Amino acid sequence: MDFKDILYRRLVKYAKVDTRSDPESKTYPSSKNQLILGGMLVKELKSAGVRKTGMDKYGYVTGEIPATVSGKCPVIGFLAHLDTSPDASGKNVKPQLHRNYGGGDIVISKKLGVVLTPKNCPELLKCNGEDIVTASGDTLLGADNKAGLAIIMTAAEYLVRHPEIKHGKIKIGFTPDEEVGQGVKYFNVKKFGAEATYTFDGDVAGAIEEETFNADGVKIVIKGKSVHPGTAKNTLANALRVAADIVSAWPENRLPETTENREGFIMFTDLKGGIEAAELSGIVRDHDLGELKAMERHLAAIAEEKRIKYPLADIKVEFKEQYRNMGPVIARRPEIMASLSAAIRKAGIEPRIKPVRGGTDGARLSFMGLPTPNVFTGGYNYHGRYEWVSLDGMNKSAEVLINLVQEWAKK
Ligand SMILES: [Zn+2]
């Protein structure tokens, strides 16, 4: 299966619409151009022969491909997001195609000195001989997640043209505002009507994600006691100093900058206050809920130590749940990952399951009743000027989608 030309044409077309989402916006979707791209996609889905296409008032684009098998077959959905990250410019994106990558540096812009090198991005070396797409040095590429849009669109078109391929009913959804954490805010899981869904929003070929962090927030409120510094001996409690003491007492090997893979951390994100009062906020993250709770007990114990050290200060520690690892939800339906792995192997690559060090829309969907792991698109270095995607990786991803619907038809 070779879809590279059409995938490239679609990626370029979508990249030209600046669909950066806006964290400051009060509207939904957060930027108008997402609706413009959404409108383009509705037209394209229609001309590809996808049924029941449309865009609702929130900017959710949906469509459906009827089953080619009779009898009971699970309805499967595919999702990608329309917006790109607000972290880098998305205006006037000019994709460049670097054919037949030879393992060295890729000059994205000589003038701006933007050079992609395997020294900083070893993932590139997995793409020897492949065709790589980048932007031109002053913008992101937007392969996150326009590669996903192109992959789903292309695979859908292929499936419509090949009714001999056996599959159940397929649902397609393109969603806005993922990058500002609002992608599924108004998503109607019931109306979408799928039993399981896959987001095509991952990175290099083969990588799949079924786990996110468990996430809590922490707030520590400290009340001090202000006394004139000249006569403060044994009567002053400086809330600011207590807060600083707590921050520095947290172990160094449990910080985001010292952990990777499945290691959890606490990061303090904000400290405000003075002598009278101080407030310290942070985030707690771990893939394992037991480990997350253990870190919280450790932080509470540090606070207890400080209560003894500073008896005049009042220290309150409070944890608040933010989101949970979707892994256990997906694991309840083992066929979801089993069919994905089989589809990837059929495309000639070995699946690599890796935990996401963050949250995803899929995690929110999973807890809304729609288990949603994430599938590779072939891209990397998202949200910046060094973003790239392999056309061969995109091609593999489209092939995986086509294999996947057939795996589900065997169920
Ligand atoms: Zn994305």
Q: What are the extents of the domains in the chain?
A: 4-211+325-409, 214-322
CB 210 within 8 A of CB 326: yes
Residue 71, pLDDT score: 86
Q: What is the mean pLDDT of residues 376-396?
A: 97
Helix (H) or strand (E) holding 72, with range, is none
Q: What is the mean pLDDT of residues 224-253?
A: 97
User: 355 C-alpha vs ligand 1 centroid, how far in Å?
Assistant: 15
Statement: 214-322 belongs to CATH 3.30.70.360: yes
User: 72 C-alpha vs ligand 1 centroid, how far in Å?
Assistant: 33
Tokens found for residue 29: 């979707």
User: 69 C-alpha vs ligand 1 centroid, how far in Å?
Assistant: 32
pTM of the complete model beyond 0.95: no
pLDDT at 358 over 90: no
Burial class of residue 82 in the structure, from the number of CB atoms within 10 Å of its CB (0-12 exposed, 13-18 middle, 19+ buried): buried
User: 178 C-alpha vs ligand 1 centroid, how far in Å?
Assistant: 7
User: 168 C-alpha vs ligand 1 centroid, how far in Å?
Assistant: 27
User: 315 C-alpha vs ligand 1 centroid, how far in Å?
Assistant: 39
Tokens found for residue 269: 């994100």
Residue 356's SS3 state is: coil
User: 211 C-alpha vs ligand 1 centroid, how far in Å?
Assistant: 16
Name residue, tokens 């595919």.
78
User: 27 C-alpha vs ligand 1 centroid, how far in Å?
Assistant: 20
User: 150 C-alpha vs ligand 1 centroid, how far in Å?
Assistant: 13
Residues in the chain: 411
Tokens found for residue 1: 């299966």
Residue 359, pLDDT score: 83
The tens digit of pLDDT for each residue in 328-353 reads: 999 999 999 999 999 999 999 999 99
Catalytic residues: 83, 178
Residue type, 257: E
User: 6 C-alpha vs ligand 1 centroid, how far in Å?
Assistant: 21
Residue 142's SS3 state is: coil
Burial class of residue 311 in the structure, from the number of CB atoms within 10 Å of its CB (0-12 exposed, 13-18 middle, 19+ buried): exposed
The count of other CB atoms within 10 Å of the CB of residue 46 is 14
Residue 82, pLDDT score: 97
Rounded to whole angstroms, the Cα distance separating 302 from 300 reads 5
Q: What is the mean pLDDT of residues 151-162?
A: 98
Rounded to whole angstroms, the Cα distance separating 164 from 150 reads 23
Beta bridge partners, 77, equal 171, 197
CB 151 within 8 A of CB 391: no
Tokens found for residue 213: 């962090």
Percent of the chain with pLDDT over 90: 96
Helix (H) or strand (E) holding 191, with range, is helix 189-192
User: How would residue 360 be classed by pLDDT, with cut points 50, 70 and 90?
Assistant: confident
Rounded to whole angstroms, the Cα distance separating 376 from 279 reads 40
Q: Is 234 left (phi over 0), alpha (psi -120 to 50) or beta?
A: left
CATH number corresponding to 4-211+325-409? 3.40.630.10
Q: What is the mean pLDDT of residues 255-270?
A: 96
Rounded to whole angstroms, the Cα distance separating 241 from 251 reads 18
Residue type, 200: F
The tens digit of pLDDT for each residue in 53-109 reads: 999 999 999 999 999 999 889 999 999 999 999 999 999 999 999 999 999 999 999
User: How would residue 411 be classed by pLDDT, with cut points 50, 70 and 90?
Assistant: confident
User: How would residue 361 be classed by pLDDT, with cut points 50, 70 and 90?
Assistant: confident
Rounded to whole angstroms, the Cα distance separating 320 from 281 reads 11
Rounded to whole angstroms, the Cα distance separating 392 from 7 reads 10
**Residue 51 CA: distances (Å) to CA of 156, 169, 401:** 11, 11, 18
User: Among positive and negative, which fits the CA dihedral 112, 117, 122, 128?
Assistant: positive
Mean pLDDT, the chain, whole residue set = 96
Q: What is the mean pLDDT of residues 368-391?
A: 96
The tens digit of pLDDT for each residue in 37-51 reads: 999 999 999 999 999
The tens digit of pLDDT for each residue in 119-146 reads: 999 999 999 999 999 999 999 999 999 9
CA 109: distance to chain centroid?
Answer: 27
